[in-house]
Amino acid sequence: MTKSALQIARAAYQPKLPKALTGAVVAKEGEPTQSVADQEEIKKLFPNTYGMPLIQFVEGEAKEFAPMNVGVILSGGQAPGGHNVISGLFDGIKKLNPANKLYGFILGPGGLVDHNYMELTADIIDEYRNTGGFDIIGSGRTKLEKEEQFEKGYEILKELGIKALVIIGGDDSNTNACVLAEYYAAKNYGVQVIGCPKTIDGDLKNDMIETSFGFDTACKTYSEVIGNIERDCNSARKYWHFIKLMGRSASHIALECALQTQPNICIISEEVEAKNMSLDDIVTYIAQVVADRAAAGNNFGTVLIPEGLIEFIPAMKRLIAELNDFLAANGEEFNSIKRSKQRDYIISKLSPENAAIYASLPEGVARQLSLDRDPHGNVQVSLIETEKLLSEMVATKLAAWKEEGKFVGKFAAQHHFFGYEGRCAAPSNFDADYCYSLGYTASMLIANGKTGYMSSVRNTTAPAAEWIAGGVPITMMMNMERRHGEMKPVIQKALVKLDGAPFKAFAAVRDTWAKETAYVYPGPIQYFGPTEVCDQPTKTLQYEQAK
Ligand code: FBP
């Protein structure tokens, strides 16, 4: 396989570990823990894994460990650094005992259920150190939640002599890891299950997990390109760029990219919901910034839009819910109607409030809302081109304002969607070190007989040597939430906190950024060079951890 010069140079990079992990360690146990909410229910559901203490690894005496085999799974969307979690895990278990073996299950949790696996040897691991992607074993979105899947999984774990399974995933995958840990513990199967916090979305974090891996690299990758667009924008001075950013429900990515690049506008979904804003409120806000900049002779700008925005606009949420129900019950009749009449048909059937909103939407978006359903009958909101929806509606509003003399200027838009561009980028130094440390820590949790824990590395705004490695009982992060009509124990998803330091820092300066052209051009991720260029954590972490 031909390798790029950077790939060859990066292969030699030795990720940094917290100082405590560089020699033999001992697990220091803290006080027993509780779940973040619904303690009684969670305790009942996880009798074997509830209430366990926090673990911190500190320097200790070297011990001998009997040989063991370990399995690893990559679950869900790709996030930069996954290969380093696996190489950290590999190096950790080999250090415990060189006879230990690591098996990777292919294409996500489905590989465990279908007994699709490969042994990860030193040669294979070396090919993937410090590289982006999940291609070493592939990833998948199969949910591990049914007893028969747990049993099928156990069959292959037993056959391969696997004593512990590491699941690298987001909040849902780690919830499932915890359910699996509890199940295997209850059955006395002797298989430990350890989770690792992955997702570019940044929404798997709490008091104990400072950040999910991949967020750092993905945001830096998007910020590079946003900065390039801003510079283009400020050179030609004739376009408004509408940029949608991945991140699922949470707006962490949009907020972090805004803090890095200082665009004219960044919409934060959590704020839209908290202020009960309508689509028209958002459009009016953007149009006003456009008009004010035009009045100052600036017919250009940059707008960041989080992927999940539409679901956070309360009125849109209600419209989507009614459409889901209506089309589930009347899909056949709807499909038998001529395409040109479908829009009017829907308008005639919806409640007056939702009909009015539906009628106000541009043709294309209205169509997407009524056509694209996932297998559960829901609108696939991520497919809705929110960036185009907003720019079209802004254009319409500005045209009306022009007639009234409220807008004197030009408005021309360009659209972008950044997501896949960042998910497999070569990990930044931060992610390379963080992920390697997470994987290595997972091996120490296994060696210490732990199950139902998530690998945790804290104090991440300090140099890596000072990071604190340990484990957090996954039950500690759980609460009860309604999923598919049933109350289920799940890890609480972290949305942007409006009283949190990163949002407050943004809110304090956004009006200035709207008026002035205050763009910052972060440039590409740097792997070699001065530490202030190469080793900075995200602004989000810096604001959150600022004492
Ligand atoms: P997870 O880490 O939660 O799996 O999601 C990451 C993500 O990139 C989201 O930002 C995005 O909405 C989703 O995956 C898209 O996934 P897919 O390509 O499978 O549709």
Closest ligand 1 atom to 77 CA: 4
Ligand 1 pocket, mutate which of 200, 211, 249, 386 (most atoms under 8 A from CB): 200
Looking at the CA of residue 382, tell me the nearest atom of ligand 1.
12
Per-residue pLDDT tens digits for 122-176 = 999 999 999 999 999 999 999 998 999 999 999 999 999 999 999 999 999 999 9
Q: Whose CA is nearest to atom 15 of ligand 1?
A: 77
How many A from CA of 525 to the centre of ligand 1?
Answer: 22
Other CB atoms within a 10 A radius of the CB of residue 168 amount to 32
Q: Using DSSP, state whether 263 is helix, strand or coil.
A: coil
Interval between CA 146 and ligand 1 midpoint (Å) = 23
pLDDT, tens digit, 9 for 90 and up, residues 486-526? 899 999 999 999 999 999 999 999 999 999 999 999 999 99
Q: Could you tell me the distance, in angstroms and rounded to a whole number, from the CA of residue 246 to the centre of ligand 1?
A: 8
Q: Closest residue (by CA) to atom 10 of ligand 1? A: 247
* Cα dihedral 295, 300, 306, 307 sign: positive
Q: Give the CA-trace dihedral at 116, 120, 126, 127, to 10 degrees.
A: -20
Q: What are the respective helix, strand and coil percentages of the chain, to the nearest 5?
A: 50, 15, 35
Among all chains, which residue has been given the structure tokens 């200082």?
Answer: 262
Residue of the CA atom closest to atom 5 of ligand 1:
77
- Sequence-separated (6 or more) residues with CB below 8 Å from residue 493: 171, 203, 204, 249, 250
Active-site residues, by number, are 201
CA angle 456, 420, 361 (to 5 degrees): 115
420-426 mean pLDDT: 98
- Report in angstroms the alpha-carbon separations of 215 from 202, 262, 276, 417, 536: 6, 18, 28, 17, 13
Percent of the chain with pLDDT over 70: 98
Kindly give the distance from the C-alpha atom of residue 381 to the centroid of ligand 1, in angstroms, as a whole number.
Answer: 12
Tens of pLDDT, residues 241-298: 999 999 988 999 999 999 999 999 999 999 999 999 999 999 999 999 999 999 999 9
Alpha carbon 213 to chain centroid distance? 9
Task: Give the tens place of pLDDT for each residue, 455-494.
Answer: 999 999 999 999 999 999 999 999 999 877 789 999 999 9
Nearest Cα to Cα of residue 381 among 483, 313, 285, 284: 313
What pLDDT, on a 0 to 100 scale, did the predictor assign at position 362? 83
Topology of the domain covering 218-307+384-418+497-524+531-546: Rossmann fold (3.40.50)
Task: Place 365 in a pLDDT band, splitting at 50, 70 and 90.
Answer: confident
CB 151 within 8 A of CB 122: no
Which residues belong to the annotated binding site? 77, 171, 199-201, 238-239, 246-248, 307, 420-423
pLDDT at 378 over 70: no
**Dist. CA 362–CA 4, nearest whole Å:** 45
Beta bridge partners of 50: none
Whole-structure pTM value: 0.95
Assign 383 a pLDDT band (cuts: 50, 70, 90).
confident
Would the CB of 77 count as within 6 Å of ligand 1?
Answer: yes
Q: Which residues are documented as binding site for substrate?
A: 199-201, 238-239, 246-248, 307, 420-423
> Binding site membership for Mg(2+): which residues?
171
On the question of pLDDT at 430 being above 90, the answer is yes
- Report the CATH number of the 15-56+70-200+429-491 domain: 3.40.50.450
Give the Å distance between the CA of 465 and the centre of ligand 1: 32
- Looking at residue 321, its pLDDT comes to 86
Ligand 1 contacts CB of residue 308 (under 6 A): no
Structural contact between residues 60 and 25, judged by C-beta atoms closer than 8 angstroms: yes
For the record, the structure tokens of 233 come out as: 């924008």
Residues whose CB falls within 8 Å of the CB of residue 284, separated by 6 or more in sequence, listed in order: 397
Please, which residues have CB within 8 angstroms of residue 331's CB and are 6 or more apart in sequence? none
3 state DSSP class of 33: coil
* Topology (CATH level 3) of domain 309-381: Arc Repressor Mutant, subunit A (1.10.10)
Closest CA to 258 of 506, 541, 431, 533: 506
Q: Where in the chain is the domain with CATH 3.40.50.460?
A: 218-307+384-418+497-524+531-546
- Both tokens of residue 132? 């982006």
| Bridge pairing between strands 468-473 and 53-59 | antiparallel
Q: Is the CB of 244 under 6 A from ligand 1?
A: no
Residue 38: burial class (beta carbons within 10 Å; 0-12, 13-18, 19+): middle
Kindly report the average pLDDT of the chain as a whole number.
95
- Mutation probe of ligand 1 site: the residue of 142, 167, 176, 248 with most atoms within 8 A of C-beta: 248
CATH 3.40.50.450 domain span(s) along the chain: 15-56+70-200+429-491
How far is 16 from 8, CA to CA, in rounded Å?
Answer: 19
- DSSP structure class, residue 260: H
